[in-house]
Structure 1
Amino acid sequence: MKHFYLITNTSKKDIEPVAREIVRYLEKRGCTCKRRSGDLLPLTEDMPEDVKKNGHYTDIADVPEDTECAIVLGGDGTMLQAARDLACRNIPLFGINRGHLGYLSQVSRQEDIAPALERLLVGKFRINRRMMLVGRIICDGKIYAEDIALNDVILNRFGMDALHFDVYVNDEFSARYDADGIIVCTPTGSTAYNLSAGGPIVEPGSNMIILTPICAHSLGARSIVLSPDSRVSIRLRPEYRFRQCVSFDGGVAVKMNPKDRVDVERSLLTAPLVELDEIPFLERIRRKIGHI
C-alpha cells in the first residue's frame, strides 16, 4: 500500500497530534496520505453541517481515486460511519482507536501505531469482508427512508410506552412483541447493543442475521438467528399510536409512524476491514470486554 486517506474524529481529545504523526510517517516512507478538507478545524460552528448533525467524518468526494486504504482515527462509531460512507468504494478500512472499547480497531496504544503502519506498507495484513445490512422504512407502500448498517438496524421507542409490533421473516409471520424495540444485527454488531440486550455473541466473519427483542414483556422472548438470505419485516400494529424510530448503526433516528414497517435484509455491499494479527476471536473479546 502506498496511497492512504486519513479519517479523523475531531471531537476526540488530543487526536490532532496523532493524525499529524501518521501523515508525517507515511510521507517519509514515500506514501501519500490525504485528509478531508477542513479536517484541521475543531468541532465548532465552522465545522461542516454533516459532521455536526450526522457524525459524518468522510466526504467521499475528497477521497482520491487511487486510495488503497482508509485509516480511521477515532472510536467504533467513527469506524462504523466510515464503513457506511465508503461502502460503495470498496476501500479497506484500518482502525486506530481513540474511543472507548475500539472493538473494530486494530491499534489502541500510541507506541503500536508506527509498527502497524509499517505492516500495511509491506503487505503483512489480510482483508476481512464483513457482512452489512440494508434497511428500508416503508410508508403507504413507498420507501420513506433507506440506509445501510455494519452493526445493526434498531427499532426503538420514544418515551415510556412499550412498542407493539409483529415480525415477519420471508413474508411469514414469526412473532408478536410488546417491547421497547428490536435489534436486527450482523455478526459484527453482535457485540454491540445486541450483547447488552442479552443477544448471542457471533464470530464476526460469519454470515447470519440476529434478531434480539429489547426488554420484551414476555418470559419467552429470545434472540433468533437467521440465515443471511432471510428478509425481516418489522410491522407496527395498527392500534399503536405512540412514538418510535429506526436507527442505522446508532446514527440519526428516523421517525416511524403507525402502520409503517421497516424491512431489513443482507446488503450487496460489504465492509472490508484490515486485520493484522491472528488473534482468536474469543481472545479478542476477552481483551476488549472481559468476563468470557
Structure 2
Amino acid sequence: MPATPAMYNTIALVVRPNTAGIEDSVRDVLAFLHEGGYSVVFDTDTADHLNMPEIPAMSAQGIGEKCDCAIVMGGDGTMLGIARQLAPFEVPLIGINQGRLGFMTDIPRDGMLPVLARILAGTHKAERRTLLEGRVLREGKAIHVGLAVNDVVVARGAGSGMVELRVDVDDHFMYNQRSDGLIVSTPTGSTAYALSAGGPLLHPTLGGIVMVPIAPHALSNRPIVLPDSSEIVIEINRGRDITVNFDMQTFASLMPQDRIHIRRSPHAMTFLHPEGWSYYNTLREKLHWNEYPSTDGRI
C-alpha cells in the first residue's frame, strides 16, 4: 500500500449497527488502515455497538474537527445519518455497501480493500452534493430546524384524512393543495421517496429542487423542478396528525398555521467514488435498466 497521503491522516469509521457478521469486515478495514499508517476513530454510535475498546470514539463534531475523511460501512440510511452531521465540516465520505440498495454507499464489500487503497491514494472521483435546510415556524418562532440529504416531507398521519397545504415560492403564491403530503427533494433524493411518488430523476450535479405531491386530490397537481436558489414556504391550512420529516429520520409534529421554510443549505457533502464511477452505471444497476425478459416464459 502506498504511503499515507498528507490529505488523509485521521479517518473515521462509521458502521451500521446490529448488522450480522459485520465485525469481520470491520476488522479487515481496521487492519488495512492501521497497516497503511492511518489513525482511525469510531463515531460514538459505532463504538457503542462494537466491542472494540482499543479504537477511540468521537462525536460527530469531534470527527468533523479532527478527521480528514469518513468511511461509512452500511446502507444509504447510515450514510444519510452521518452525512447530515458532517456536512458543516466538509469531511469527504466513502461508502462501503453493507445494505440492500446502495445509491450512496457504492463500494461492494467484496474487493473493498483494493478500492479503498486507490481512493485514499488519491485515485478517485470527488462529487459534491447539495442539501436542504428546513425551519418550522409556529407563531413566527422556530420550533425545529433540520438538514436533509434526500428530502423534506410533509405528510398526514396514517389514520387521518388529506392535509390541506398552501405553497409559496420566493414570496409568490404557487397553489393550495389537498393531498397526503408533499415531498421537497434534492437531486440526490430524486431516486428515493420522490421517485416512488412519481417524481423525475435529477442528475446530482443539477441545481434543482424537486416538489412532488403525494397522492394529490387534483390530478393536475404534478411534480415540478425549481431552481435551487428558491425558498419554499409550506403552510398547514388544515389536517390532523401531520408531521415534517427530514430524510425520514427526524421529525416535528405540525399544527394548522405552522409554516415550513425550505431552501438549499449553505453546506454541501463530498462523496469520494472509485475511479471510473458513473452515475448512469449506478442507475442502471440499482433500477435494473439492464434487465431483459427471460426466454423461458417467466417474469
Q: Report whether the alignment pairs 1:103 with 2:110.
A: no
1:61 Cα offset (Å)? 4.2
TM normalised by structure 1 equals: 0.89
1:253 Cα offset (Å)? 2.2
Whether the 8 Å contact between 1:247 and 1:254 is mirrored in structure 2 is yes
Write the mapping of 1:140-151 to structure 2, written as runs, cut at 5 A: 140-151=139-150
* Alignment partner, residue 250 of structure 1: 248
Structure 1 residues 246 and 38, CA, compared in 2 at 3 Å: closer, same or farther? Answer: closer
Q: Distance in 2 between matches of 1:152 and 1:103?
A: 15
Whether the 8 Å contact between 1:96 and 1:105 is mirrored in structure 2 is yes
Whether the 8 Å contact between 2:163 and 2:239 is mirrored in structure 1 is no
Q: Which moved more, 1:266-275 or 1:7-16?
A: 7-16
**Alignment partner of 1:86: what SS?**
helix
Whether the 8 Å contact between 1:71 and 1:95 is mirrored in structure 2 is yes
In structure 1, list runs of 5 or more residues that go unmatched.
44-56
Higher-Rg member (1/2): 2
**Alignment partner of 1:30: what SS?**
coil
1:66 Cα offset (Å)? 4.0
Aligned AA for 2:72? V
Structure 1 residues 167 and 37, CA, compared in 2 at 3 Å: closer, same or farther? Answer: closer
**Alignment partner of 1:12: what SS?**
coil
Q: Distance in 2 between matches of 1:258 and 1:230?
A: 24
* Alignment partner, residue 164 of structure 1: 164
| C-alpha distance after superposition, 1:251-289 (max 9, x if no partner) | 132101111011100110001111223343232101012
| C-alpha distance after superposition, 1:188-239 (max 9, x if no partner) | 00000000000000101221111000010112111010001001011111xx
Aligned AA for 2:99? G
1:165 Cα offset (Å)? 0.6
* Alignment partner, residue 130 of structure 2: 131
Q: Report whether the alignment pairs 1:224 with 2:231.
A: no
Q: Distance in 1 between matches of 2:155 and 2:280?
A: 29
Q: Distance in 2 between matches of 1:33 and 1:176?
A: 51
* Alignment partner, residue 152 of structure 2: 153
Q: Which moved more, 1:7-16 or 1:126-135?
A: 7-16
Q: Distance in 2 between matches of 1:204 and 1:241?
A: 34
Write the mapping of 1:154-193 to structure 2, written as runs, cut at 5 A: 154-158=153-157, 159-193=159-193
* Alignment partner, residue 87 of structure 1: 87
Aligned AA for 2:250? V
Whether the 8 Å contact between 1:101 and 1:289 is mirrored in structure 2 is no
Whether the 8 Å contact between 1:7 and 1:58 is mirrored in structure 2 is no
Q: Percent identity?
A: 34
TM normalised by structure 2 equals: 0.87
Q: Which moved more, 1:213-222 or 1:32-41?
A: 32-41
* Alignment partner, residue 60 of structure 2: 60
1:155 Cα offset (Å)? 0.3
Aligned AA for 2:120? L
**Alignment partner of 2:46: what SS?**
coil
Aligned AA for 1:264? I
Q: Report whether the alignment pairs 1:18 with 2:25.
A: yes
Structure 1 residues 277 and 257, CA, compared in 2 at 3 Å: closer, same or farther? Answer: same
Structure 1 residues 80 and 13, CA, compared in 2 at 3 Å: closer, same or farther? Answer: same
1:105 Cα offset (Å)? 1.3
**Alignment partner of 1:39: what SS?**
helix
Whether the 8 Å contact between 1:12 and 1:99 is mirrored in structure 2 is no
Aligned AA for 1:3? T
RMSD over equivalenced CA pairs, Å: 1.8
Whether the 8 Å contact between 2:106 and 2:273 is mirrored in structure 1 is yes
Q: Distance in 2 between matches of 1:3 and 1:119?
A: 17
Q: Distance in 1 between matches of 2:275 and 2:253?
A: 41
Whether the 8 Å contact between 2:179 and 2:216 is mirrored in structure 1 is yes
Aligned residues, how many? 276
Aligned AA for 2:25? V
Structure 1 residues 210 and 4, CA, compared in 2 at 3 Å: closer, same or farther? Answer: same
